[in-house]
Amino acid sequence: MELVFKPLHVGISVKDMEEAIEWYHRNLNFEVVQDDYIPPLKARIVFIANGDFQIELFQYDDPKPIPQERLAPNSDLQTVGTKHVAFQTADMKALKEKFLSNGVDIAHEVVMEGNPVMFIRDNSGVLIEFIQRG
């Protein structure tokens, strides 16, 4: 039997849940679908969705900051572990204009194999990648 997996969500820890919810809504059109506080974890967990894809946001009562080496795409890739979520876009130019007008931190831009690629940082410093395939 062949197993086929459909991506459900990615988990991201944030330092301020309200700011994160607003940031992901304003910049990436995500909407809140579930909001809970889990006492044993001492964390608020909020699921946000854009279409069928969800992000599980975690805000712990005592969050720890991102290590400095995780803030740059190239040095982050050298650290073992999950790196980033990547989204495909049909119009990188329009997306970049939206990000610039919203004050989004653009970390890195490059063209790879003829495709524009852009890394941004969310309001907690988490890297997110966008690719426009030609």
How far apart are the C-alpha atoms of 11 and 131, rounded to whole Å? 20
Q: Rounded to whole angstroms, how far apart are CA atoms 57 and 10?
A: 9
pLDDT score, position 25? 98
pLDDT for the residue numbered 17: 97
Asked if 60 and 41 touch (Cβ cutoff 8 Å), the reply is yes
Q: Which helix (H) or strand (E) holds 97?
A: helix 92-101
Residue 45, number of CB atoms within 10 A of its CB: 17
Give the integer Cα–Cα distance in Å for 80 and 62. 24
Model pTM score: 0.89
pLDDT, residue 89, reads 95
- Provide the residue-wise pLDDT of the chain in tens; the chain has 134 residues: 677 788 889 999 999 999 999 999 999 999 999 999 999 999 999 999 999 999 999 999 998 888 888 888 888 888 888 889 999 999 999 999 999 999 999 999 999 999 999 999 999 999 999 999 97
Q: Name the residue with tokens 């919810």.
A: 21
**Which residue segments constitute the domains of the chain, with CATH numbers given?**
8-63 (3.10.180.10), 70-134 (3.10.180.10)
